[in-house]
Amino acid sequence: MEKNKLKKIIIEIFEKFKLSKKHSVICAEAIINAELVGAPTHGLSRLKMYCDRIQKKLINPKPKIKIKNISKSVTHINADDSIGFVAADTAIKKAIKNAKKTGIGLVAVKNSGHYGMSGYYAEQAVKKNMLTLIFTNAPPAIAPHGAIKSLFGTNPICFGSPTGSKVPFILDTSVSMINRGKIRVASRSNSKIPEGVALDKFGNPTTNAKKALEGVQLPIAGFRGSGLAWMVDILSGVYTGGNHGGKVKDPFDDFSGPQNIGHLFIVIKANLFQPNYKKRIKENIKRIKKLPKLKGLNEILYPGENKYRRYKKNFKFEIEIPKNIMEDIQNLLK
């Protein structure tokens, strides 16, 4: 479907579900961005879920978002169970504003929900010539090192920086070995998953996708990745007032209450210490790109380059919508 037409439809759906025009636009833009960067798991495939949760009063379509300024740099946001997109958009804009004034902005959010991709908000800061670190927790997906039960979410660590070119440096990495989606695909096609990415329900390593789905996913690099996932849970959940320690609800199948996800946004001015920051990072990237490469590899890419290329390419075309999602959309419009 043509992008602008799709955007109008998404806005119409969210307005139908009682979101304000402004909030509906924020959500529609984030969802379309996910499709364009090639992350459909964070795009249209979640539209019905968001609407279901609104209908079940687990997402508040008319949130009274409370913004509490603690100092010129520091703000706390109680998102009042708003849809995650709106909470995150409010928070990154506030963090940028604080950083403009004092060099650094720290914004903590509680009572939020799934907000799509951290990198999308990081890009807003980078466009204002700022660096950013963004942390959010998520429903249980990964077993802590030594455990045989999932508790940590995929808990992404996101870092963004200007590069002196139009392609931002956006690292947005989960700390799981493999996406759950890939295990699901392998399970359906009866193919194996790589070694070392999952355990079965008894805690034994498995390459059987079905057994992995009944078991747990493993963090990257054992205790290192487990420690990073734990750090993200503390920074975004324990610290902000959000749910934590395995209590973030799965948005697709747990309707026992709002998700209460927490997020933490740190934004710092790029030229706070070095007026020639852009020149410095350009030089940094140049040195790394010039390194001798693995056989068959033409280019070393920095985080965010691939995504940017996918965006540029996809932008030229209509967005392909799978049949089942098209049906969702038609039902939501009814």
For residues 236, 242, 244, 248, the Cα torsion angle rounded to the nearest 10 degrees is -110
Q: How far apart are CA 205 and CA 217, in angstroms?
A: 10
**134: helix, strand or coil:** strand
Q: Which of 221, 312, 315, 322 binds a copy of itself (CB under 8 A)?
A: 221
**Nearest distance from residue 31's CB to a copy of itself, in Å?**
25
Q: Does residue 300 belong to the site contacting a copy of itself (CB under 8 A)?
A: yes
Q: Specify the stretch interacting with a copy of itself by CB under 8 A; choose among 12-20, 88-96, 220-228, 249-257.
A: 220-228
Q: Does residue 313 belong to the site contacting a copy of itself (CB under 8 A)?
A: no
Q: Which is nearer to a copy of itself, 38 or 203 (CB)?
A: 203
Tally of CA atoms within 13 A in the half-sphere of 188 that contains its CB: 5
Q: Which is nearer to a copy of itself, 32 or 143 (CB)?
A: 143
Q: Which is nearer to a copy of itself, 253 or 292 (CB)?
A: 292
**Nearest distance from residue 270's CB to a copy of itself, in Å?**
8
Among positions 164-183, residues that touch a copy of itself (CB under 8 A) are 169, 171, 173-175, 177
**Nearest distance from residue 112's CB to a copy of itself, in Å?**
13
**174: helix, strand or coil:** coil
Q: Specify the stretch interacting with a copy of itself by CB under 8 A; choose among 89-97, 154-162, 186-194, 317-325.
A: 154-162
**283: helix, strand or coil:** helix
**Nearest distance from residue 28's CB to a copy of itself, in Å?**
29
Q: Does residue 49 belong to the site contacting a copy of itself (CB under 8 A)?
A: no
Which residues, in sequence order, are CB contacts of 296 under 8 Å at separation 6+?
Answer: none
Q: Which residue has the tokens 């933490």?
A: 264
CA distances from 143 to 62, 197, 229, 278 (A): 36, 11, 10, 40
CB 258 within 8 A of CB 59: yes
CB 116 within 8 A of CB 85: yes
Q: Which of 74, 214, 255, 310 binds a copy of itself (CB under 8 A)?
A: 74
Characterize 204-221 residue by residue with b for buried, 16 or more Cβ atoms within 10 angstroms of its Cβ, and e for exposed: eebebbebbbebbbbbbe
Q: Does residue 67 belong to the site contacting a copy of itself (CB under 8 A)?
A: no
Among positions 278-297, residues that touch a copy of itself (CB under 8 A) are 280-281, 283-284, 287-288, 291-295, 297
Q: How far apart are CA 214 and CA 143, in angstroms?
A: 13
Q: Does residue 50 belong to the site contacting a copy of itself (CB under 8 A)?
A: no
Q: Which of 52, 104, 210, 250 binds a copy of itself (CB under 8 A)?
A: 104
The number of angstroms, rounded, from the C-alpha of 81 to the middle of its chain's C-alpha atoms is: 17
Biggest CA-to-CA distance, the chain? 57
DSSP string, 228-269: HHHHHHIIIIITTT---TT-SPPTTT--SS---EEEEEEEEE
Q: Does residue 66 belong to the site contacting a copy of itself (CB under 8 A)?
A: no
CB 132 within 8 A of CB 160: yes
Q: Which of 234, 250, 309, 311 binds a copy of itself (CB under 8 A)?
A: 234
Q: Which of 9, 67, 301, 325 binds a copy of itself (CB under 8 A)?
A: 301
Q: Does residue 240 belong to the site contacting a copy of itself (CB under 8 A)?
A: yes
Q: Does residue 332 belong to the site contacting a copy of itself (CB under 8 A)?
A: no
Q: Which is nearer to a copy of itself, 20 or 164 (CB)?
A: 164
**Nearest distance from residue 174's CB to a copy of itself, in Å?**
8
Q: How far apart are CA 281 and CA 304, in angstroms?
A: 15
Q: Specify the stretch interacting with a copy of itself by CB under 8 A; choose among 16-24, 45-53, 113-121, 238-246.
A: 238-246
DSSP string, 115-127: -S-HHHHHHHHHH
Q: Which is nearer to a copy of itself, 12 or 203 (CB)?
A: 203
